[in-house]
Amino acid sequence: MKRICTFMLIVSSLFIFTACLDAVQPESYSYVFAIGIDKGKAKRYNYSLMVQTVGEKNDSSMVGSSEIFSAEGDTLFEAVDIIHSVVSGEMNFMRTSVIIFGSEVAKSGGAEDFSKVSFNSLRMRQSVKLLVAQGEALDFMKNLGSQYSQNLTRLQVDLVMDNKMGILPITSFSIMSENVMGGRLDPVLTLCNVAHGAKEGEDNAQNTSGVLRTGGMDSYVMGSALFDGWYMKGTIDENDTMYLLMARGQFEKGYMTYETKDKKIATLLIEKNADIKRKVDMKNKNVNLKVSLYCTVEFDETSSIREKWEENYKKEVEEKIRLQLERIAALVMELNCDSLGIGRLVSTKFYNTDAWEKYDFQEHYKEFKTNFDVEVELKDKNIITHMD
Amino acid sequence: MRMNLGKIGAQESTSLVAIVLSVTGIFTVESAVAYANGNSTFLTVPASIIVGFLVFLLCLFAMNKLGVATFHELADRAVGEKLSCVFMLILSASLLFNAFVLLLRFATIIHSYIFVESDYIRVALWIFLPVLSLSLFGFETLGRMAKIFGVALLVLFLLGFVSATDGFSVHRLYPLFGDGAYNIAISSFKNSYKFIPAFIAPLVLSKGINGVKTVKKSVIIGSVFAVLLSFITQLVIGLTYEYTSLSNMYFPLCRLNMSLQNEDYFMRTDRIGVFIWLVAGVIAIAYYVYAAGFIFCKKTGTRDIRPCIVCFMIILSSLVLAEYTKLYAVLHGVISIIESNSFIVMLLIVLTVTLLGLLKRGKERQKE
């Protein structure tokens, strides 16, 4: 018994002592929160690193604030070499949470070049989120906050919360690699934008996804970037993103404005009722998807939509959603992006790898036809709706 | 005689068998080979353990018929002392081979995933010392360590999987029978070479486990645990990554939480899990080294097991350290040769010993 206790003590003490060797204080590190990748002028790429700013200990306004450093290089290591010499502290990639590709880089397959970076040697997590910026990534990063103090906190919160609500797709590096290598689903990345001069009253001002506004950061996340393997093929806005996520089975909540045949306007809040059901018919190359939703009619002056839902409006709403889903499915197919994951469904029909690989799904992808069946239940139909 | 055998009961031996078989099943899967043509490891690894178990039952049957207490006594009676010596030394070598493969895996995992900036040699030596101490302390210490850590290791292991459930998706298992039913069957038999020595070792050490009946009970229960745990582990890996990604990962178990979309408190549990697995690994490696030393001493007449264990550990350490030298290619070439032929050799030894033993018993009964 004594020997066992002695042995256990020696073994457990070995775990403790190793961390004291060559210790580095946390304050000595410069943590890189985000990496932006744009086309370079002299070199292949221009890498922008958002590095955490260390402020006064009790200054809560400095939480999440950072500074941007950028340098050109053919690889990330070249750029880091340059930036390292001008940054105080040892650069540390363990807290890198987003990588933003500029649109040109995304279209030319820069994501594939980046995938060759050794995450292990940089100690970067493979769960780092990937985003695509409309325009330049550096521009997007610069507009995350005030001129000299960028703040990534809002972006991180938006990504997590909006993904949980089913408003934005989120793809990490490990998921994108898996999707591209597996060939059964093409990745969909979050799209980020900059609303330059989005101030009320300015002529020809760009605005936030078609809406004029004032206040807040110029940088925002909305919409999706569609990929065919490592190459970006197109982008869609936030409204189409909602339908794309519905077709992918990742939709949680959303809204649609509904104008009835008799010119009544209502805002329908829609949410997921049940998981999407998918079936593939290999013989006729048909993919059948059943989408089940709940709907709440929020604004309806006379409450007539709620009362006559079953007779008049249910089929209209279902048809409207179905048409939108089919439009999105046709759009992604035209771009040769398997954003709906038809490859995953088809792969379940094969019992061994040889047969699946011989089939070469990429060759047959466009032969498949998607059919949507939409069912919308009124969530509050049993509640008395008259307010007066 | 100083063999450090001691005596352990059913609980200790069950825990020891379960830990050794589970560690062997989970940590000796070579990703580049196992996932090259689809993922069917959730079938082949448990099936290999079952094949090893059937071999164990055959040996046990022969031992009961001949009324012998240990496997080396069975071999002596079946094929004579000289040939028995050769067979047992081959068995000892195969136990050492298992220990070597596990040592190599753990040293590489810890160096690649945890202590990246340390020297490989320092990391490897850090593992060698506990293994050496544990094997020197003997079989009774091994058994009691296994009993102390057994349940805790199992619970922590499974908790690690629970944290990764958000990233599971059934479609990743498809195509379901990866390499095809025929290749799955062949692979199950071929890979049982790792488990046959692990199953025969308790039959060699049966005097330290209160006899053959206790050995049988412990091995049955331990095997059930090992089959279930191996199946769950490989299934979890298959639900987290597709085979195209797995074939490029040295050790996918260390990356279970990498596919999670939302960061939470479990982001680092993969790295913490390595230390839990290391405890189980140290017990398994020490068991193999001890069992190999025991067989060697029995057959060569050496009366003290300790110099034998030290020598074996020096040889294993040298081979593990050779991984990071110019001998890497030679080393892995030899490993491949051993892996492709070991099943036939093990099967030949077991069948020769058991069938000849049963034949001899039959003749003896006829004479009576």
Which of chain A's residues have a Cβ under 8 Å away from the Cβ of B243? 353
Domain end point (choices A220, A236, A252): A236
Residue A244 and residue A210 share a domain: no
Domain end point (choices A236, A261, A284): A236
Q: What is the pLDDT of residue A386?
A: 46
pLDDT at B10 over 50: yes
A72 within some domain? yes
CA dist A267 → A259, A325, A362, A378, B104 (Å): 9, 19, 40, 13, 63
User: What does the pLDDT average to over B337-355?
Assistant: 90
User: Are A73 and A45 in contact, with CB atoms under 8 Å apart?
Assistant: yes
What is the per-residue pLDDT across B49-90, written as a single tens digit (0 to 9) for each?
999 999 999 999 999 998 888 998 999 999 988 999 999 999
A274 within some domain? yes
Tell me which of B291 and A221 has the higher pLDDT.
B291
Pairing of strands A369-378, A286-297: parallel
What is the per-residue pLDDT across A151-184, written as a single tens digit (0 to 9) for each?
677 777 777 777 777 788 889 898 899 899 888 8
Q: What is the pLDDT of residue A55?
A: 55
DSSP bridge partners of B31 = none
Give the angle B52-B127-B152 at the CA atoms, nearest 5°. 65
A20 within some domain? no
Which of chain A's residues have a Cβ under 8 Å away from the Cβ of B116? 120-121, 123
Averaged pLDDT of chain A: 81
Which of chain A's residues have a Cβ under 8 Å away from the Cβ of B282? 11
Percent of chain B with pLDDT over 90: 52
User: What does the pLDDT average to over B171-187?
Assistant: 87
A18 within some domain? no
Local confidence band at A61 (pLDDT 50, 70, 90 cut-offs): very low
What is the per-residue pLDDT across A223-271, written as a single tens digit (0 to 9) for each?
899 999 999 999 999 889 999 999 998 888 888 887 777 777 777 888 8
Q: What is the pLDDT of residue A8?
A: 82
Q: What is the pLDDT of residue A17?
A: 63
Residue numbers of the domain that contains A302: 238-388
B273 has a chain A CB within 8 A of its CB: no
| Inter-axis angle of helices B181-190 and B41-66, nearest 10 | 50
Range in A273-287, B134-148, B273-287 with the lowest mean pLDDT: A273-287
Q: How far apart are CA B185 and CA A351, in angstroms?
A: 15
Residue A197 and residue A268 share a domain: no
Domain end point (choices A174, A207, A236): A236
Tell me which of A298 and A349 has the higher pLDDT.
A349
Residue A196 and residue A49 share a domain: yes
Tell me which of B150 and A209 has the higher pLDDT.
B150
CA dist A170 → A209, A246, B161 (Å): 19, 14, 23
B298 has a chain A CB within 8 A of its CB: no
Encoded tokens for A125 = 């997590």
Residue A285 and residue A338 share a domain: yes
Q: How far apart are CA B42 and CA B233, in angstroms?
A: 8
Q: What is the pLDDT of residue B262?
A: 53
Residue A248 and residue A231 share a domain: no
A98 within some domain? yes
Q: How far apart are CA B142 and CA B132, in angstroms?
A: 12
B261/A183 touch (CB, cutoff 8 Å), yes or no: no
Structural domain count of chain A:
2
User: Are A186 and A338 in contact, with CB atoms under 8 Å apart?
Assistant: yes
Local confidence band at A215 (pLDDT 50, 70, 90 cut-offs): low
Q: What is the pLDDT of residue B202?
A: 94
Residue A213 and residue A202 share a domain: yes
Residue A299 and residue A190 share a domain: no
Which of chain B's residues have a Cβ under 8 Å away from the Cβ of A355? 175
Q: How far apart are CA B199 and CA B63, in angstroms?
A: 14
DSSP bridge partners of B233 = none
Q: Write down the ipTM of this complex.
A: 0.78
Of B192, B250, B188, nearest to B41 by C-alpha is B188
What is the per-residue pLDDT across A356-388, written as a single tens digit (0 to 9) for each?
888 888 888 888 889 999 998 887 655 444 444
What is the per-residue pLDDT across A179-212, written as a single tens digit (0 to 9) for each?
998 888 999 999 998 876 545 555 544 566 667 7
Q: Which of B38, B126, B137 sits opposite A352 (nearest CB)?
A: B38
B141 has a chain A CB within 8 A of its CB: yes
Helix ranges (H only) for chain B are 10-27, 31-34, 41-66, 71-109, 120-137, 139-162, 181-190, 195-204, 212-240, 243-246, 269-300, 305-321, 328-367
CATH code that applies to domain B10-358: 1.20.1740.10
pLDDT at A50 over 60: yes
A352/B126 touch (CB, cutoff 8 Å), yes or no: no
A43 within some domain? yes
Q: Which of B37, B141, B244 sits opposite A182 (nearest CB)?
A: B244
What is the per-residue pLDDT across B237-260, written as a single tens digit (0 to 9) for each?
999 888 888 888 888 887 776 555
Tell me which of A16 and B1 has the higher pLDDT.
B1
Residue A348 and residue A202 share a domain: no
> What's A242's domain CATH number?
3.30.300.210
pLDDT at A144 over 50: yes
Local confidence band at B235 (pLDDT 50, 70, 90 cut-offs): very high
Residues of chain A with a CB closer than 8 angstroms to some CB in chain B: 3-4, 7, 10-11, 14-15, 18, 22, 97, 120-121, 123, 125-127, 160, 163-164, 170, 172, 174-175, 177-178, 181-184, 341, 344-345, 347-348, 350-356
Residue A333 and residue A221 share a domain: no
Local confidence band at B322 (pLDDT 50, 70, 90 cut-offs): confident
Pairing of strands A45-52, A29-39: antiparallel
Residue A293 and residue A257 share a domain: yes
Residue A325 and residue A226 share a domain: no
Residue A246 and residue A230 share a domain: no
A283: Cβ contacts below 8 Å, ≥ 6 apart: none
pLDDT at B273 over 50: yes
Q: What is the pLDDT of residue A58?
A: 47
